[in-house]
Structure 1
């Protein structure tokens, strides 16, 4: 029981830390470099999470059962020290400070109200929730699909995930270039369309090479979407609202993951293991369509940002 409490506390604290990091970044990096900064963070996370963490964890566990937990604790301490060493007044500027809301509920309501009134940020929150549902529909049973449809062993499944993680590195490299070429709105539409196409391809074949490439392209789309949506939110949101708007976006995403897992399980039981990929692809196509309809608003917002931050 104690272990569950510890891991739940770690999850909550990590959410606070991640939210604070996203909120601080716009004060540490000029607006025109946010895309690159977010892409560098995403690329680093991909490398550490997918290529460093798993083999290191296995090596440490082979040395001693407690070693992975001990090293993880040390990594948390090192990360906290690195944040503590940051130089700069990372606070809300006096001219952007708002009246302090009375209580947590009032603060949440204030953040939700601001988000609802900003059409571009509101759209991204809604699309983020929809994309989370679509992502989790097939990923909730991915290991079962890999075993039954692709005939992969546990080792083969691990290799498939490692290969797909290369798409995350690709996404982190191309995200800022894609934004410069197509603008935020166009790049986000392109990324979501790629996600839809990737899942559509996976639903139609069991060819391992095709599936691996499609899965890597799906992960690439996810990183591009995350980088650009985060940059838009950071550039559009006042510093005083950054934490609340980011927390709302994260909450909607987590609710989407929960709903997607439930829907994915039902669809897989009723329609088989491949059809849910097609359903998820359709949801990504819907998300791309919602953004496509608002391209004019994206362009108007970008023009305004260019005037304010030439």
Structure 2
């Protein structure tokens, strides 16, 4: 990752990066605090995982119309308005905690409403990046490397331990911090000076339904992007099968408290940072297609390590491996999608992609909760490992060097 190449030549990228980073810090704080709060309200794996399930449902319901809107609206404005909505909702959750009216249904409602705003923000954010960095494929990969490194550092490394500490001090503090992060993010986004409207004639007078259909049709005709979207959905299903009950695994199997759990979440950042810094070199050595397959196999191996871990140290090693492999997968699949999609379709393609990929999360969370209830907490990690190894085999036949070359050269 060479900072000057993407920071100095794209004036709005530092603001986009800063907004993303501070918002992700709040997400990292909540990623530890929310399951800890849920675990204080119930020790049932199915109930705790259900909080995750409901929080992911909006991706099934709203990802497609949010993608169409990202191709109609000013994408910058859509992002900062979504940030303001998320700030208000998260502050409301903090108030519920302070006034002691919080419950599992309240957590579900808050997560559901925040995720609706997430669909708008994410579709606009993914669509705006190529224009921010002038659409060059190498710059897109560099920008995504920096964004993933930032996600790793603040959301996975700094945020969770901070969330655990804040939660120990006061159950409401993590959610106050998350609300403030959304406000600061909105200010950075407001400061971006570029024009991020889409030309009004690209969608013409077609309806939302027609716009969605056009996005589906275009994506289906792209073999690599179609395969990546399907694999991402199953990738997230496998990951959420394990992650949805991870807090209970840490507490009941590894014997960790709130701060120990947040540290276990954080150690995966070391692997992810290394993966983000080396993805360009790995791609030059093996090519993007092989890098994607290796990252899937590596994630499967990581889940297997956690599944058999006798203590927190071995589980931490598995988390580091998972962070490394997931960073390589995410940077490459995002960069291919953004570089290979025409600008006027980016919002809708992101919407379709998120429908499938994020839509797999509630299914995975429910699957993990049921599996843990029936067979024990380790079973969810074994299942995740099997799914990821299977995806690595599938990618061997669907994400090939020749198909990747056609996608990149054709756009």
The answer as to whether partners of 2:292 and 2:329 remain within 8 angstroms in 1 is yes
**1:307–1:136 distance in 2 versus 1, CA, 3 Å:** closer
**1:232–1:15 distance in 2 versus 1, CA, 3 Å:** same
Range moving further from structure 2, 279-288 or 11-20: 11-20
Alignment of 1:94-173 (within 5 A): 98-100=202-204, 102-173=206-277
Question: 1:110: Cα distance to partner?
Answer: 1.6
Question: 1:6: Cα distance to partner?
Answer: 6.6
The answer as to whether partners of 1:42 and 1:223 remain within 8 angstroms in 2 is yes
Alignment of 1:1-310 (within 5 A): 3=93, 8-29=112-133, 30-54=136-160, 72-92=178-198, 98-100=202-204, 102-296=206-400, 298-302=401-405, 305=408
Q: Distance in 1 between matches of 2:309 and 2:151?
A: 30
SS at match of 2:202: coil
**1:56–1:217 distance in 2 versus 1, CA, 3 Å:** closer
Question: 1:249: Cα distance to partner?
Answer: 1.2
Q: Distance in 1 between matches of 2:390 and 2:197?
A: 38
Q: Distance in 2 between matches of 1:17 and 1:240?
A: 17
**1:59–1:260 distance in 2 versus 1, CA, 3 Å:** closer
Q: Which runs of 5+ in 2 are unaligned?
A: 1-88, 94-105
Question: 1:210: Cα distance to partner?
Answer: 2.2
Q: Distance in 1 between matches of 2:281 and 2:266?
A: 25
The answer as to whether partners of 1:57 and 1:68 remain within 8 angstroms in 2 is yes
SS at match of 1:106: helix
Q: Distance in 2 between matches of 1:69 and 1:261?
A: 22
Q: Distance in 1 between matches of 2:169 and 2:251?
A: 30
Question: 1:43: Cα distance to partner?
Answer: 1.2
Q: Distance in 1 between matches of 2:279 and 2:245?
A: 29
SS at match of 2:287: helix
The answer as to whether partners of 1:133 and 1:259 remain within 8 angstroms in 2 is yes
Q: Distance in 1 between matches of 2:272 and 2:409?
A: 29
Q: Distance in 1 between matches of 2:177 and 2:313?
A: 36
Displaced runs of 4+ in structure 1, greater than 6 A? Answer: 58-67
Question: 1:148: Cα distance to partner?
Answer: 2.8
The answer as to whether partners of 1:35 and 1:175 remain within 8 angstroms in 2 is no
The CA deviation string for residues 161-197 of structure 1, in whole angstroms up to 9 with x for no partner, is: 1222322222221222222222221110010010111
Number of matched pairs: 305
Question: 1:86: Cα distance to partner?
Answer: 2.1
The answer as to whether partners of 2:247 and 2:261 remain within 8 angstroms in 1 is yes
Q: Which runs of 5+ in 1 are unaligned?
A: none
**1:19–1:47 distance in 2 versus 1, CA, 3 Å:** same
The answer as to whether partners of 1:101 and 1:107 remain within 8 angstroms in 2 is no
The CA deviation string for residues 1-21 of structure 1, in whole angstroms up to 9 with x for no partner, is: 975677654432233222212
The two structures have a TM-score, normalised by structure 2, of 0.66
